[in-house]
């Protein structure tokens, strides 16, 4: 009886020590304070709340406030560094092509800077895995990344179609190539981009529109991502097409001209890439929506 009691005491003592050790480990490694300059990273880290505490973020649009409780860093192209300092982040996450210039001021805050490559679909998922690693690995987040990859791999248009993806701003248009995330996503689900790459990119994956490019395009489907007022930018596209010439070819696109939802296509949506892929596949089966 005494021997059994001693054995039980020993087991309980071991369990107590293990529990104390685990609790101490959890306290020694609290969630990291993360400031993100990319809205989709904020969404992704919702799957890693045990590892990351998002304390600051940029706006998804000028008119959409950020989530309650977060420090508002403003425009993702020029985040407010004073507010960033106020948020006291351990880790700042940004876009490699957009935020590399912030490396020095962020280092002065005593924070780490993780720059992501989000130019393509695989690059985006690889970057999200790097985010998981930077906060100490989150199985929940990594499972979500894997599930989203698999869903996109399962999607495909029924028949090949040529697309012309345009990025429109007030007064100008750019063609999006396969080096832009949208062009790469369209390629993955079976579309053929009329301009796969370009030698005169003004920005990564964006080539200024020329009459020559439009004349040679002859797309089955035209996609428009509007940076600004979608109605105004689409009206500008209608005006150009009505003038005839090369731009008149757009009206002949058999699958129509579609203005994409800015909430999903205005910027890389991260884990919502599967939703964007499904939306593109549906357009291949949509009736023609001619201009205007």
Question: Where do the structural domains in the chain lie, given as residue ranges?
Answer: 32-153, 161-283
Confirm if 163 and 193 have CB atoms less than 8 A apart: yes
Determine the distance from the C-alpha atom of residue 107 to the mean position of all C-alpha atoms in its chain, rounded to a whole number: 25
Residue 277: closest CA among 120, 151, 95: 151
pLDDT digits 0-9 by tens, 45-92: 999 999 999 999 999 887 788 899 999 999 999 999 999 999 999 999
pLDDT digits 0-9 by tens, 222-278: 999 988 788 888 888 888 887 777 788 788 888 988 989 988 999 999 999 999 999
In angstroms, the Cα distances linking 209 to 165, 198, 217 are 11, 11, 11
- Intrachain domains 32-153 and 161-283 with the same fold: yes
- CATH class of the structural domain 161-283: alpha beta
Mean per-residue pLDDT over the chain, rounded: 86
Where would I find the H helices in the chain?
2-28, 39-44, 81-86, 96-99, 103-108, 121-134, 139-153, 181-188, 211-217, 230-242, 262-265, 273-283
Q: Dump the DSSP string for 230-280.
A: HHHHHHHHHHHHHT-GGGGGGGG-TT-EEEPPHHHHSS--GGGHHHHHHHH
* CATH superfamily name and code, 32-153: Nitrogenase molybdenum iron protein domain (3.40.50.1980)
Residue 141: band (very low, low, confident or very high) from pLDDT cuts 50, 70, 90: very high
């Amino acid at each position: 009886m005494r021997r059994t009691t001693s054995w039980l005491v020993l087991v309980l003592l071991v369990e107590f020590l293990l529990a104390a050790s685990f609790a101490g480990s959890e306290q020694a490694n609290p969630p990291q304070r993360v400031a993100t300059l990319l809205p989709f990273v904020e969404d992704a880290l919702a799957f890693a709340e045990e590892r990351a505490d998002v304390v600051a973020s940029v706006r998804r649009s000028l008119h959409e406030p950020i989530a309650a409780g977060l420090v508002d860093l403003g425009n993702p192209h020029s985040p407010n560094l004073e507010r960033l300092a106020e948020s006291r982040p351990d880790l700042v996450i940004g876009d490699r092509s957009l935020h590399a210039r912030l490396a020095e001021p962020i280092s002065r805050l005593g924070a780490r800077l993780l720059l992501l490559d989000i130019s393509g679909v695989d690059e985006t998922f690889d970057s999200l895995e790097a985010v998981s690693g930077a906060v100490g690995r989150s199985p929940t987040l990594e499972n979500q990344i894997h599930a989203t990859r698999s869903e996109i791999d399962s999607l495909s248009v029924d028949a090949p179609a040529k697309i012309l993806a345009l990025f429109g701003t007030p007064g100008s248009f750019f063609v999006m190539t396969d080096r832009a995330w949208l062009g790469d996503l369209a390629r993955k689900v079976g579309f053929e981009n009329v301009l796969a790459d370009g030698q005169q990119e003004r920005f990564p994956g964006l080539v200024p529109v020329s009459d020559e490019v439009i004349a040679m395009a002859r797309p089955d489907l035209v996609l428009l991502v509007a940076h600004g007022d979608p109605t105004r930018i689409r009206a500008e596209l209608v005006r150009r097409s009505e003038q005839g010439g090369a731009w008149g070819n757009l009206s002949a696109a058999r699958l129509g001209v579609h203005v994409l939802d800015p909430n999903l296509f205005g910027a890389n949506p991260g884990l919502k890439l599967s939703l964007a892929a499904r939306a593109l596949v549906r357009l291949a089966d949509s009736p023609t929506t001619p201009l205007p």
